C-alpha cells in the first residue's frame, strides 16, 4: 500500500470532507473512487447492496433446493408428467425474470 500526500486549499479540503461525510465514508475512499472513475456510493447504499446480494444468494439457494426436490420427486414417480412440466416452466420463468432484472 502506498501513501500519497497532496496540497489543497482549505476550500477544496472542506468541500472534499463535506462530500465524504455526507456519503458516510472517509476522504481516502472518496478520492480513490474518483481517481478510478468509480461511482462513489454512500456507506448506507453499500450496506443496502450487501444486504441485497445476500438476499439474492438465499433466493438462488432456495430455488436450487426446490429444483433438486422437484427432480427427485419426478425420478421417484411422485409427480405426474403434467405437474412436473408445469413446475419446471414456472422455475424457468423465475430464472429468466431474475436474469433480466440483474442485467437491467
Given pLDDT bands bounded at 50, 70 and 90, which one contains residue 80?
A: confident
pTM of the model: 0.47
What are the pLDDT digits (tens) for 44-58? 666 777 788 888 888
Residues 6+ apart with CB under 8 A from 64: none
Given pLDDT bands bounded at 50, 70 and 90, which one contains residue 7?
A: very high
Neighbours of 71 (CB within 10 A): 13
* CA proximity to 74, closest of 62, 64, 88: 88
* CA proximity to 95, closest of 60, 57, 54: 60
Annotated domain spans of the chain: 1-40, 43-102
How far, in Å, CA of 40 to CA of 52, rounded? 18
Amino acid at each position: 500500500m502506498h501513501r500519497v500526500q497532496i496540497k489543497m486549499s482549505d476550500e477544496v479540503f472542506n468541500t472534499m470532507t463535506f462530500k465524504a461525510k455526507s456519503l458516510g465514508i472517509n476522504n481516502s475512499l472518496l478520492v480513490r473512487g474518483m481517481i478510478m472513475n468509480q461511482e462513489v456510493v454512500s456507506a448506507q447504499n453499500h450496506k443496502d447492496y450487501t444486504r441485497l446480494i445476500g438476499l439474492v444468494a438465499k433466493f438462488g439457494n432456495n430455488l436450487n433446493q426446490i429444483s433438486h426436490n422437484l427432480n427427485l420427486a419426478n425420478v421417484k414417480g411422485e409427480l405426474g408428467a403434467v405437474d412436473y412440466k408445469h413446475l419446471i416452466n414456472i422455475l424457468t420463468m423465475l430464472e429468466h425474470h431474475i436474469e433480466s432484472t440483474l442485467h437491467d
